[in-house]
A and B are shown apart, each in its own frame.
Chain A
Amino acid sequence: MAETSTNSGLLNVRLVTPDRVLLDATAEAVELPAMTGYIEALYGHAPFLGELGAGEVRLHGGTSGDQKFFVAWGFAEVLPERITILAETALRPSEIDIAEARQELEEGERLWQQAGDDGNKYDEANGVTRRAEEKLASAEGRST
């Protein structure tokens, strides 16, 4: 975790949404919800460009302290001294509307029921469900 980071360098972190640049800060370590699981990037990380799933982007250390954002789908570019995150949705956990997230969860189940024999539609339904689950987890502070 961040405490064990021996590198003095700080990462520049930017979080970009379709509407605006949501965050421009520094951090010692950043956790990213990649498709295959969380990855953590420290200063000097090897270049990486990957797709993000639903989950939390967590910033540790840095000038503005620890911060968390819920993101749903995006891309992250990790360079040794800079991380740029492109997120379709990005919210602070306190901004999440829990009732809406529950509705989305039901919507995901409904889509799954209606997917028929179309594999892509199952993927889509699973995506919606997972996003809603992660959203709820993030809002309730039990995201892993």
Chain B
Amino acid sequence: MANVLDLRRRIRSVKNTRQITKAMKMVSAAKLRRAQERAMLARPYARMLSNVLESLVQRTDLYNEKTGDLLHPLLLEREEKNVLVVVVAGDKGFAGAFNSNIVKAAQGFIDARRAAGQTVDIEPVGRKARDMFRKRYPAANYEKKEERYDNDLATHFEILRHRAAPIEVAGDHPTLLQKIEITEVSEMAHSIIDRYTRSEIDSVYVVYNEFKSVISQRVVVEKLLPIRKLGSQEITVAEVMSEEQRDAAAHAAHTAGISVNAPEESEFEIESKKFGTAEVDYLFGAPPDRLFRHLMPRYVTTQIFHALLESAAAEHAARMTAMDSATNNAGDMIDALSLTMNRVRQAAITKEIIEIVSGAAAL
């Protein structure tokens, strides 16, 4: 049996670990609070933007009256041959099963699509997803073809895709999750829209962790393009939290002082739902196809922005829960070790007494 000194040393080390995990938990709780708030603040804009689109769709025909063309290419549905899947995971580990759950869900989706004979592009967001998929699949190869004309005064770019494998990793966003700013998200959305309009991809899905509250989260696969019905989420696969996970999350939230309920809708948020829906004839300044051209990319951007913000909140919640469990486990371990240590010490004392007593008896 280990001696008292060794046990004491181990207890000290576990205590130190507990300190660290506890600190990490509190840090995650603070970050979660901020992330949750940010997600809330971003809601009115998203809500109002989709209201404007909905209102526009109700009032106009989606097809051009003269030519019969669709008003916007993002509404066009093609046969799904090439699928793009945006996988939103985290930048850092120590978040329990958060990253692996997302990667698992994404991999399941990719395998199913591959089995159906479709080619799949993966667009990872977050370092964990990127590292994982980069290891498994080759990167997509793009060629920028430049044409010069008008005596070299003007240039024309064409981007060509050379597909080598059925599953490739397209796009790379190493810094996107650090701040989650709309301008950066907008760049990503535009690159996706470009690929969609030039028929490189026929549909776009996003895999991310949806966050309603600490105890209500799920990994979802949401269809982003083509836009079939505005304002409604089209979710194909969803993985909910287990009862056990929920209890652990509730405990973590309780000890960190975070509400487990979904935050209440602000007065303004409720009001924002009415934006553009009043029962009056509005004047739309511009022709519908132009409005569509301006609105659609922004709609896609806010959808991705929303997914990123929710995923960020979910990541902090997952880390908080994981660190809370680690703190509890460390506490249990300290208890068990203290018990063993006391027993060993007692045994040593008993042994000494027996030695003295039997020594005295032998005299």
Contact = CB atoms under 8 A, between A and B. Distances in A.
A86 B155 contact: no
Contacts of B153: 113
Contact of A21 (B44, B55, B154, B276): B44
B48 A49 contact: no
Interface string B275-300: 11010111111100001011000100
A79 B156 CA distance: 45
A109 to B, nearest CB: 12
A63 interface: no
B305 A18 contact: yes
Nearest to B46: A18
Interface string A52-78: 000000000000000000000101010
B356 interface: no
B182 A88 contact: yes
Contact of B291 (A19, A51, A115): A51
B52 A18 contact: no
Contacts of B38: 19
A116 B305 CA distance: 31
B48 A18 contact: no
B340 interface: no
Contacts of B49: 75, 86
Interface string B248-287: 0000000000000000000010001001101011111110
Contacts of A73: 294, 298
B42 A49 contact: no
A18 B309 CA distance: 12
Give the interface size bracket for B toward A. 35 or more
A35 B154 contact: no
A50 interface: yes
Contact of A120 (B46, B286, B293): B293
Give the interface size bracket for A toward B. 20 to 34
B45 interface: yes
Contact of A50 (B155, B268, B275, B285): B285
A79 to B, nearest CB: 6
Interface in A82-129: 84, 86, 88, 113-117, 120
A21 B182 contact: no
A136 interface: no
Contacts of A75: 48-49, 52, 276
A49 B55 contact: yes
A19 to B, nearest CB: 6
A50 B276 CA distance: 10
B285 A24 contact: no
A116 B156 contact: yes
Interface of A: 14, 16-21, 24, 34-36, 46-51, 73, 75, 77, 79, 84, 86, 88, 113-117, 120
10 contacts: A16-B44, A18-B302, A20-B41, A20-B42, A47-B280, A75-B49, A77-B275, A88-B298, A114-B154, A116-B157
